[in-house]
């Protein structure tokens, strides 16, 4: 944890005028308001159920709740912008009304959805495509921290786009270019997400994790999303339902390599990982 403390000691996010200090890693709880996300335990479509799930995550120690209305699992069905808006806006409004202090994130790659989400109470934009929508960066400007993820293609095509000459070098170049674009667009609070499982094989995912500290050259906080992903359950020859232990192991490694935010389905387990690893000096 020494490396994480050195990197994060002076890192803060401006969340609507409130400063979020990343010296202690944070937990982002996943709230999928979709019928088809890869992990069944993360799906919720009934508003009462959604609010109860959010309440549980907050009680377990979530710092951020990430609301997604578009499944990004490999091969997921594409949905319209109108349907995505219909899924996420009422949920964000209800969450903001019931939990006024929680930081809310909108998981979307569409600028109109992001803009509507910010108006509905979201504080942060989590964009899996890193800005495929040219209007996304202007939406984030001066309004919200922005999660910049690495991927190629779309959820429908990314599994066919895993060929790299030098994976880590190409990823870092990708981030350098987009960080500069974000800076030019006036977006100052940027978080990096390596995009585990997005246009990467299991072997490539483990390569990224093994060398995660290389991304500190970008001088941005790292958000890590490993929770119950196929790199875990396929390696262990099990299912997403039985991948919590594996998730905990890899989240521990990510924290030791300087992760600032863990994006997870299981908030309590992630909070315990942070509490235990924080005792290592």
Using the predicted structure, report yes or no on whether residue 2 has a pLDDT greater than 70: no
First CA to last CA distance, the chain:
6
70-104 per-position pLDDT tens digit: 876 665 677 899 999 999 999 999 999 999 999 99
Classify domain 2-277 at the CATH superfamily level: Dihydropteroate synthase-like (3.20.20.20)
Q: Which of 243, 219, 214 is nearest to 231 (CA)?
A: 243
Q: CA dihedral in degrees (205, 211, 214, 218; nearest 10)?
A: 20
H helix or E strand, kind and range, residue 34:
none
Give the pLDDT mean for 32-48.
67
Q: CA dihedral in degrees (144, 149, 29, 234; nearest 10)?
A: 180
Using the predicted structure, report yes or no on whether residue 158 has a pLDDT greater than 90: no
95-134 per-position pLDDT tens digit: 999 999 999 999 999 999 999 999 999 999 999 999 999 9
Using the predicted structure, report yes or no on whether residue 224 has a pLDDT greater than 80: yes
Active site members = 229, 263
Q: CA dihedral in degrees (157, 183, 226, 42; nearest 10)?
A: -80
Q: CA dihedral in degrees (195, 85, 71, 143; nearest 10)?
A: 10
Q: How would DSSP label each residue in 211-245?
A: TGGGGGGG-S-BEE--TT-HHHHTTTTS-GGG-HH
pLDDT of residue 6: 45
Query: 3-state DSSP call for residue 257?
Result: coil
Asked if residues 27 and 270 have their Cβ atoms less than 8 Å apart, the reply is: yes
Q: Quote the percentage of the chain above a pLDDT of 90.
A: 79
229-262 per-position pLDDT tens digit: 999 999 999 999 999 999 999 999 999 999 999 9
170-211 per-position pLDDT tens digit: 999 999 999 999 999 999 899 999 999 999 999 999 999 999
Query: 3-state DSSP call for residue 128?
Result: coil
Give the pLDDT mean for 36-56.
74
Helices (runs of H) and strands (runs of E) counted in the chain? 10, 10
Bridge partners of residue 148, in order along the sequence: 127, 192
Q: Where are the domains of the chain?
A: 2-277
Asked if residues 99 and 54 have their Cβ atoms less than 8 Å apart, the reply is: yes
pLDDT of residue 36: 53
CA distance linking residue 194 with residue 280, whole number of Å? 25
Asked if residues 135 and 129 have their Cβ atoms less than 8 Å apart, the reply is: no
Alpha-helix runs per DSSP H in 39-130: 47-59, 81-98, 111-120
CA distance linking residue 256 with residue 211, whole number of Å? 11
């Amino acid at each position: 944890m020494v490396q994480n403390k050195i990197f994060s000691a002076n890192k803060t996010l401006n969340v609507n005028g409130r400063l979020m200090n990343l010296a202690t890693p944070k937990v982002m709880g996943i709230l999928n308001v979709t019928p088809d996300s890869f992990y069944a335990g993360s799906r919720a479509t009934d508003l009462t159920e959604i609010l109860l799930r959010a309440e549980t995550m907050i009680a377990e120690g979530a710092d951020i709740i990430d609301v997604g209305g578009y499944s990004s699992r490999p091969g997921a069905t594409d949905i319209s912008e109108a349907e995505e808006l219909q899924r996420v806006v009422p949920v964000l409004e209800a969450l903001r009304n019931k939990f006024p202090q929680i930081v809310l994130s909108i998981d979307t790659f569409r600028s109109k959805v992001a803009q509507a989400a910010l108006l509905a109470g979201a504080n942060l934009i989590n964009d899996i495509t890193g800005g495929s929508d040219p209007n996304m960066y202007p939406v984030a400007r001066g309004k919200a921290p922005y999660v910049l993820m690495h991927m190629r293609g779309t959820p429908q095509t990314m599994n066919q786009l895993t060929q790299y000459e030098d994976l880590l070098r190409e990823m870092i170049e990708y981030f350098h270019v987009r960080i500069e674009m974000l800076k030019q667009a006036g977006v100052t609070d940027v978080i990096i997400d390596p995009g585990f499982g997005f246009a990467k094989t299991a072997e490539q995912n483990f390569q990224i994790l093994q060398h995660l500290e290389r991304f500190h050259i970008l001088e941005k906080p790292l958000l890590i999303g490993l929770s119950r992903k196929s790199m875990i359950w396929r390696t262990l020859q099990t299912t997403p339902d039985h991948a919590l232990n594996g998730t905990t192991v890899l989240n521990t490694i990510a924290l030791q390599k300087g992760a600032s935010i863990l994006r997870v389905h299981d908030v309590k387990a992630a909070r315990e990982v942070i509490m235990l690893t924080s005792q290592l000096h």
